[in-house]
Chain A
Amino acid sequence: MPSSASFCLPLLYLGYVGSSIVFSFAVAALISGRLDAAWARYVRPWVLIAWIFLTLGIAMGSYWAYYTLGWGGFWFWDPVENASLMPWLAGTALLHSAAVMEKREVLKIWTLFLAILTFSLSLLGTFLVRSGVLTSVHSFASDPARGAFILVILTVFIGGSLSLYAWRAPSLSRRSLFAPVSRESALALNNVLLTACCATVLTGTLYPLALEALTGDKISVGAPFFNLTLGPLVVLIVLLMPLGQSLAWKRGDLLGAAQRVTVAALGGLVAALVLTAVIRGGPVLAAIGLGLAVYLIVGSFADVTSRIWARGQPTRVILARAFGLPRSAWGGAIAHAGLGVTLMGLAATGWGVEQIVTVKPGQGINLGPYQATIENLRSRQGPNYSEVLAHTVISRGGAAVATVEPAKRSFTARQTTVTEAGIVTLGFGQIYISLGDQHADGSIDARMFWKPLVTAIWIGAVIMAFGGIVSLSDRRFRIGFARRAARVRPAVNPATSQPAE
């Protein structure tokens, strides 16, 4: 059986390992009783590393499902996916709260809690997936015995760290003050929203188990539930992202921040309106989603732009300023824009075309701007399977633009059939063809999709991870930087240093 273990799991596990380092920092802080801005600075690169791996792992898992499962879906709100999404949500919140803690020494206790939570959710995810307590479309070996072992680890680590937290955290508390309109309060709000998302996914994943254990009643919690509950939260987060980025630390100016994102907001509005007008009668939600995406992408660079660009400045000065900005500012902007790109891909699914057809060779099927024609069917014998391949020509306005060979494999020994979807990338969109049953008259069942902008979903995730890497390259975040800086400092002191030349 093909398994997602081959690609995305190593990345996810690297993410989990990263979160275990952050967890160790948190436990160390609880035991030693020292928790300050320096702690946040030491922890931030590790949080970032874990976050980058989790982001890439989730994206690859999603593409694997899209590529392999053969019905064109890329996210199923499946327990395995939820198990990887929960640490990502908690880790994203941690990334932001650690920034607040480093800059302003507030949200300390909360940041510690998130550090413990992120690792605990990683463990919980591993347990849920590996023990077979919850079943999933991402099939890989589950083993109840190993499940029991992981459960013991889970209890010791989560129970132990939370007890330690309950015991020690109050003594670390320091009054946390911040103005209602400031970068830190915007980030606190971001944390509330991300935590709400995380809690919703956690409850949704475990609720059926808990309810059955308590009352014996069986319910299902699936995609429609998650879409309905998380949708509004995500919209709120997206609306706040550029605004929060444009607010200053300590005492922000809401009007100024709003002015800085005006261009972005207008861009988003125009995009949404133009799309509704051009594609008349199309899905309104998709147009709104795309407008939001444009707002987020443009708005992500509002803060950076306002810091480097000023009317009448020569290009040289602007470039110098751009290079002078801390890399973390660029990284944040890029990562936020990456989410916008992903959102764009998600919104565009609304304009997708799906055709479920029985076709004879030579018969053309319209897929949005393209036409797909299965020219001929042929059989091939593999080592332990036989397969049917459909030679398909994709054309646009009568001219062929690509060919693809979706296949259907029958494993004779196991009596199973696996579809190998035929996928053609055209621009940022994809044609996706998966085969069904063959009929006696030479026709074949097929499911054909035109998915405009679908690749943006995963490209966005890669951009997010790239933003993380840019942030990581910020010299302040380099692991061990603080120590090296301390060693170097005496030489910098003009009183003791010798003239170099």
Chain B
Amino acid sequence: MTSLRRIALLSIVLAGLAPSLARAVQPDEVLPDVKLEARARAISAELRCLVCQNESIDDSKAELARDLRLLVRERLKLGESDEQVRAFLVKRYGNFILLKPPLDLETAFLWGMPALVLAAGGIALLFGLRRLRSTPATPLSQAERDRLAAVLEADTLL
């Protein structure tokens, strides 16, 4: 990569990341319908701002995030369901836009992780317990019994 191209790329990236004058959800974006606005907020909180560092479009200051927020509200106003809005955006930007990835073959391991660890831990604990049941407590040997008697006789431990 030439250095000029690198600088150009860097400045594009920086322009995307730098806090611009725009803020997260601005007053002019807010829908008058309270219920619709609440749905828009809930949807936006689960959509990734594509040019940001791990922020949702609801939190992001980037221009693109604002465009997406407006888009979400636009679609809701057309009467689409939450699912339809999400599907539309996924079709346009891919699964990358969803902060909660869909459960499919690719993400099965990700979603299954907590259950996997719990199952493994549970099995390990059960094995420990079963071993306990199958191991009877060994009775004391004669020498140990003598020592115990002597200790009890002495009556103090010091």
Chain A residues in contact with chain B, CB under 8 A? Answer: 71, 73, 76, 78-79, 134-137, 139, 175-180, 185, 188-189, 191-193, 195-197, 199-200, 203-204, 207, 211, 215, 217-225, 228-230, 233, 356-358, 414-419, 434, 436-437, 445, 447, 492-494
Contacts and interface: CB of A to CB of B under 8 A. Distances in A.
Contacts of B128: 176-178, 188
A219 B101 contact: yes
B63 interface: no
B113 A199 contact: yes
Contact of A207 (B56, B107, B118, B125): B107
A285 B54 CA distance: 26
Given A177-B128, A218-B94, A229 B118 contact: no
A252 to B, nearest CB: 14
Nearest to A223: B99
A192 B122 contact: yes
From A219, A230, A419, residue with most partner B Cβ within 10 Å: A219
A177 B99 contact: no
From B24, B46, B109, residue with most partner A Cβ within 10 Å: B24
Report, as a range, how many residues of chain B touch the other chain: 35 or more
Contact of A78 (B28, B54, B113): B54
Interface string B52-95: 01111001000000000000000000000000000000000011
Contact of B19 (A197, A417, A493): A417
Nearest to A436: B23
Contacts of A179: 132
Contacts of B53: 78, 135-137, 139
A192 B122 CA distance: 8
A264 to B, nearest CB: 25
Interface in B84-123: 94-101, 106-107, 109-111, 113-114, 116-118, 121-122
Contacts of B118: 192-193, 196
20 contacts: A76-B59, A78-B53, A78-B54, A178-B128, A179-B132, A196-B113, A196-B117, A199-B113, A199-B116, A218-B95, A219-B95, A219-B98, A219-B101, A224-B45, A230-B114, A356-B26, A356-B27, A436-B26, A437-B22, A437-B23
B114 A196 contact: yes
B120 to A, nearest CB: 8
B131 interface: yes
A193 to B, nearest CB: 8
Given A357-B27, A447-B24, A220 B110 contact: no
Contact of A203 (B30, B48, B110): B110
Given A76-B55, A178-B132, A220-B101, A188 B95 contact: no
Interface in B31-61: 45-46, 48, 53-56, 59
Contacts of A220: 48, 54, 95-99, 101
A136 B54 contact: yes
B117 A416 contact: no
Given A177-B132, A220-B54, 10 more contacts: A76-B55, A176-B128, A191-B121, A220-B96, A222-B54, A224-B99, A225-B110, A436-B26, A445-B26, A493-B158
Interface of B: 18-28, 30, 45-46, 48, 53-56, 59, 94-101, 106-107, 109-111, 113-114, 116-118, 121-122, 124-125, 128-129, 131-132, 135, 158
A193 B94 CA distance: 33
Contacts of B107: 207, 211, 219
A176 B19 CA distance: 56
A200 B100 contact: no
A200 B113 contact: yes
A188 B125 contact: yes
Nearest to B107: A219
Given A176-B128, A219-B106, A416-B18, A71 B117 contact: no
A203 B113 contact: yes
A132 to B, nearest CB: 11
B152 to A, nearest CB: 19
B117 A195 contact: yes
Q: Shortest 9 CB-CB distances between A and B: which pairs?
A: A222-B99, A192-B121, A224-B100, A196-B117, A135-B53, A358-B27, A218-B96, A436-B23, A203-B113
A219 B24 contact: no
Contacts of B158: 492-494
A217 B55 contact: no
A185 B111 CA distance: 27
A419 B24 CA distance: 12
Contacts of B131: 175, 177
Given A218-B95, A219-B106, A416-B18, A229 B54 contact: no
Given A221-B101, A493-B158, A211 B23 contact: no
B100 to A, nearest CB: 4
A211 B106 contact: yes
Given A224-B99, A356-B26, A436-B23, A203 B135 contact: no
From A192, A211, A358, A493, residue with most partner B Cβ within 10 Å: A192
A230 B100 CA distance: 13
A224 to B, nearest CB: 4
Nearest to B23: A436
A441 to B, nearest CB: 13
